[in-house]
Chains A and B, each alone.
Chain A
Amino acid sequence: AAGVIQSPRHLIKEKRETATLKCYPIPRHDTVYWYQQGPGQDPQFLISFYEKMQSDKGSIPDRFSAQQFSDYHSELNMSSLELGDSALYFCASSLGRQNSPLHFGNGTRLTVT
Chain B
Amino acid sequence: GESVGLHLPTLSVQEGDNSIINCAYSNSASDYFIWYKQESGKGPQFIIDIRSNMDKRQGQRVTVLLNKTVKHLSLQIAATQPGDSAVYFCAEIMNSGYSTLTFGKGTMLLVSP
Contact = CB atoms under 8 A, between A and B. Distances in A.
Contacts of B34: 101-102
Given A103-B46, A106-B42, A42 B99 contact: no
Nearest to B42: A106
A97 B47 CA distance: 19
Nearest to B106: A42
B43 A42 contact: no
A41 B1 contact: yes
A90 interface: yes
Contacts of A33: 101
Contacts of B51: 99
A67 interface: no
B43 A50 contact: no
A44 interface: yes
A76 interface: no
Contacts of B32: 99
A37 to B, nearest CB: 9
22 contacts: A38-B3, A39-B6, A40-B4, A41-B1, A42-B103, A42-B104, A43-B89, A43-B103, A45-B100, A45-B102, A58-B100, A98-B98, A98-B99, A99-B95, A101-B34, A102-B34, A102-B99, A104-B45, A105-B43, A106-B41, A107-B42, A107-B43
Top 4 nearest A-B pairs (CB, nearest first) are A104-B43, A40-B6, A42-B103, A97-B98
Given A40-B5, A42-B89, A56-B100, 6 more contacts: A31-B99, A40-B7, A43-B89, A44-B1, A103-B46, A104-B36
